[in-house]
Structure 1
């Protein structure tokens, strides 16, 4: 007689460790150690800030009272900046649609096409917009066309990626039904895909509009017209009263765009009020309700803004064709790469750039955790406190990082300290929002269970809220590190340390081969950090 053996007790089997989890944890700890070392090596400490107190007082005395230009000039500069930013965002959005269709796994016609589209997205993100502005300035000279092309092509890196992610997350049901009915690939895209991703597309474009408005300040230092160029001209002549006044105008515009973007998005997509289900036999054409009036009005206003921006940006077909005719000669100036005898110096400054990014990410994380926690409605002691700190995050996000870098250069002097402090404070604008959103998205049931046992607010926060949001925190920090590395390259334009100074200086003395070398070095580091961040997020998720 055969005896049956009892099955193994699976409940006592320990879960297998995730492949690569230990290595990813060690790499993450190594990055943390490198960030701490960067803070120490750059000499970012309380003593440095105390020593800069006198400079800060002197800077405030030289910047006040603010000297605003005449209202006519101010409106002209603001209108030109907004027109360039809108046109650049529109260009990026239009270019990103086909790129995203080829990059998305479920709509790409073949694997090589998908790989090529993804590579194009990475390339667009990795090449600094300032470098594109330098290239287009050589082709087209002064004017809005340089800024539109530089910001527009660079924005494809972000918009294209987010568009592709949105396409991959659609419900395949409508598309499958259209294909089953004999619809072609284009019909499937137009009728089965685009209606689902339109809300995400609009939200992404509006978010990029806000980013490009801040980027326009940076591009002003390389000849792009508008408020950025006016700020650069004022600061070059040490006219801090006019420069900071113009920076304040940019801040107000950034905050207004951030606030209005949500309203515009809801108006364009018709989600301000919930649509009621139509009864059977009702007319197909919906009635002119307040919802429909706002929706239609939003579309009309958006169309008018686009038309006005195209006219206000100063775009010229003659300028375009004249610049394209010189394309070959301009590209020849940038190739082959040259070092100009500065390779050791460039490598040293590249290390400083990485240090600035690491130190800024650590500082930004330390500042964003308490601010973001107090901005989350399930953590803040009251709704008023949450709203106040949401306002703080919004205010910080409205200040261009280059302006922060200029202020810290005046206070702490030239070098990496100013760059790290500027990016660290600027990181609160994004990290604080992401931290608050992550804390609000946790499972509230676990928090309520702990409260039912008599746990205090602090105990609930550390025992239930933080553990759930910790993986998201890690992903946000890695994303911020990637962002700070790109930004640190540019802050050298105003003396905030790193390789950016040599990038700008090489362009000024027409050593464009050196510009290419700087771009290639920066591209290699940015790509390495991005691949590393993607791997860590994938393993630890």
Structure 2
């Protein structure tokens, strides 16, 4: 009898659970989109609430003609006085930028993720950066004016401490973006933390540091006009004195000098930044050679040393024409710094008087007081926010087309791109306070003048950032669409804009943050907002109200700053 053996049944293999092939939608992205839409709706609401329309500007055309008749011809001071005022302004601005740059370097090292000593030090450094950016420089000027009195020291410290917020943030971002290879090699060779910073990080970030400081120098030159209204010397104080006496011919003449200085500084700093771009590659080569040499020495310490070569390999770059030119720039910079310290009229004897009166001076500003006008202060704070929102909307609407035509990959030809680059440069050269004065004369006192001034002024910075973002997109997508027969407009909306859209949103948020602080300052000349109460309180020595205005402004700016940081982080991760 034959028995049959059944083959064993095949085991059922459980199929793996179904896995999602698409990433889960991030709730943060949806919330960020809603926040952006809410900000856009708030800007439209502010624009409508302030009654900004073409009719307002048309109605003020007669005022503009009358203002021009009272302004022209311009009344310039003597050459000697003009050079003295310009030299004092430039000296104060250079010293303030130098102070901010020196303070920002250690703060940035502690704030950067890859060089911080720990989470506590990084958090503390980031808090310092945010606080420095949130406190308006005019408030610092009022405090320091009470401590040091007249002189360049008040302007240097006010602009310097406030600039630390922006410079420190950009310095920290530059440190976080360095190539970690050289630093890792130096650490592997036994280098200390200081040696890693000096040899592995600093050579890579020096060009970025210099470019950031030069950019801030340009901003501080325009800010110096504002500080002239609270007693800081130079062209700003001369403009303020002329406008108080309704001497528009002299005031606008001095404002045109500030404009020319801003354009000149922008052109010179742009040339220096362009010349320093080559430093990055040269220094990377030097650092790579040094680190390779250190690693080879450590790894070959246990083997017999080879015969010493007749000539050591060259690790320093040759003295080419480019290197000589950059060295000349460094020497010129050192000479300018020394001359600025001398020309800023900084009296170190003021420090002695300030130290003795430091406690009583701070006591004047504490505790905060409302002066019985808390409702008015809150109402003007709301007006300040409306001015910032409406101005950002105006600036974005104007800057997007202008910035697009200034980008060389979007403009129809290079001549158009250069022309609109010139337009952006010209707008950036006009201080917002001067624009506010002009619009106050045209439209009258109030928030309309402030919103129009900041809106037009936003075209300068925002237009430049938009143009740079469009030029930095991947050109391959544009070329691929052109190869399919797409026209210029189709390439722009299908390939260029989608890549630059996250950067657009980040730039607009940065401009909103900037406009909120600037809107506080424009109240000094009657352009609406809480700045008017700030100036009046300081003039009548009601420093408790000054502190209240400072706290309200600080809280508002801080909330906007934190919101912008969160939105930028979400957009960067999307």
Give the TM-score normalised by structure 2: 0.90
Structure 2 match to 1:471: 502
Q: CA deviation at 1:336?
A: 0.5
Q: Distance in 1 between matches of 2:475 and 2:359?
A: 60
Q: Does 1:289 align with 2:297?
A: no
Q: Map 1:35-434 onto structure 2 (within 5 A).
A: 35-267=43-275, 271=279, 287-434=318-465
- Report the CA distance shift for 1:275/1:202 in structure 2 as closer, same or farther (over 3 A): closer
Q: Distance in 2 between matches of 1:507 and 1:534?
A: 32
Q: CA deviation at 1:196?
A: 1.4
Q: Distance in 2 between matches of 1:385 and 1:274?
A: 34
Aligned to 2:116, the other structure's residue is in SS state coil
438, 448, 458: which is aligned to 2:479? 448
Structure 2 match to 1:508: 539
Q: Map 1:14-29 onto structure 2 (within 5 A).
A: 14-29=22-37
Q: CA deviation at 1:14?
A: 4.3
435, 443, 465: which is aligned to 2:466? 435
- Report the CA distance shift for 1:395/1:336 in structure 2 as closer, same or farther (over 3 A): same
Is the CA contact (8 Å cut-off) linking 1:231 and 1:243 kept in structure 2?
yes
C-alpha deviations, 1:421-445, integer Å up to 9, x for none?
Answer: 0000000001101111111122222
Is the CA contact (8 Å cut-off) linking 1:269 and 1:295 kept in structure 2?
no
Q: Distance in 2 between matches of 1:240 and 1:378?
A: 43
Is the CA contact (8 Å cut-off) linking 2:91 and 2:343 kept in structure 1?
yes
Q: Distance in 2 between matches of 1:400 and 1:458?
A: 34
Q: CA deviation at 1:460?
A: 1.7
Structure 2 match to 1:524: 555
Q: CA deviation at 1:338?
A: 0.4
Q: Distance in 1 between matches of 2:186 and 2:285?
A: 24
RMSD between superposed Cα atoms in Å: 2.1
Q: Distance in 2 between matches of 1:101 and 1:272?
A: 19
- Report the CA distance shift for 1:540/1:304 in structure 2 as closer, same or farther (over 3 A): closer
Q: CA deviation at 1:3?
A: 4.5
Structure 2 match to 1:457: 488
Give the TM-score normalised by structure 1: 0.96
- Report the CA distance shift for 1:3/1:425 in structure 2 as closer, same or farther (over 3 A): same
C-alpha deviations, 1:296-331, integer Å up to 9, x for none?
Answer: 222211111011000000011111221222111110
- Runs (5+) with no aligned partner, structure 2: 1-9, 290-310
Is the CA contact (8 Å cut-off) linking 2:203 and 2:280 kept in structure 1?
no
Q: Distance in 1 between matches of 2:316 and 2:449?
A: 59
C-alpha deviations, 1:483-504, integer Å up to 9, x for none?
Answer: 1111111100000000000001
- Report the CA distance shift for 1:460/1:180 in structure 2 as closer, same or farther (over 3 A): closer
Q: Distance in 2 between matches of 1:391 and 1:504?
A: 35
Is the CA contact (8 Å cut-off) linking 1:268 and 1:298 kept in structure 2?
no
- Report the CA distance shift for 1:172/1:450 in structure 2 as closer, same or farther (over 3 A): closer
- Report the CA distance shift for 1:479/1:291 in structure 2 as closer, same or farther (over 3 A): same
Q: Does 1:2 align with 2:33?
A: no
Q: Distance in 1 between matches of 2:218 and 2:432?
A: 13
Task: Identify which range, 287-296 or 88-97, moves more after superposition.
Answer: 287-296
Q: CA deviation at 1:5?
A: 6.4
Q: CA deviation at 1:177?
A: 2.4
C-alpha deviations, 1:19-63, integer Å up to 9, x for none?
Answer: 222222111111111111111110100111111111111111111
C-alpha deviations, 1:457-490, integer Å up to 9, x for none?
Answer: 1122122221221111111111111111111111
C-alpha deviations, 1:248-269, integer Å up to 9, x for none?
Answer: 1001100111111022234456
- Report the CA distance shift for 1:232/1:396 in structure 2 as closer, same or farther (over 3 A): same
Is the CA contact (8 Å cut-off) linking 1:19 and 1:539 kept in structure 2?
no
C-alpha deviations, 1:166-193, integer Å up to 9, x for none?
Answer: 1112222222222233322222222222
Aligned to 1:106, the other structure's residue is in SS state coil
Q: Distance in 1 between matches of 2:281 and 2:164?
A: 32
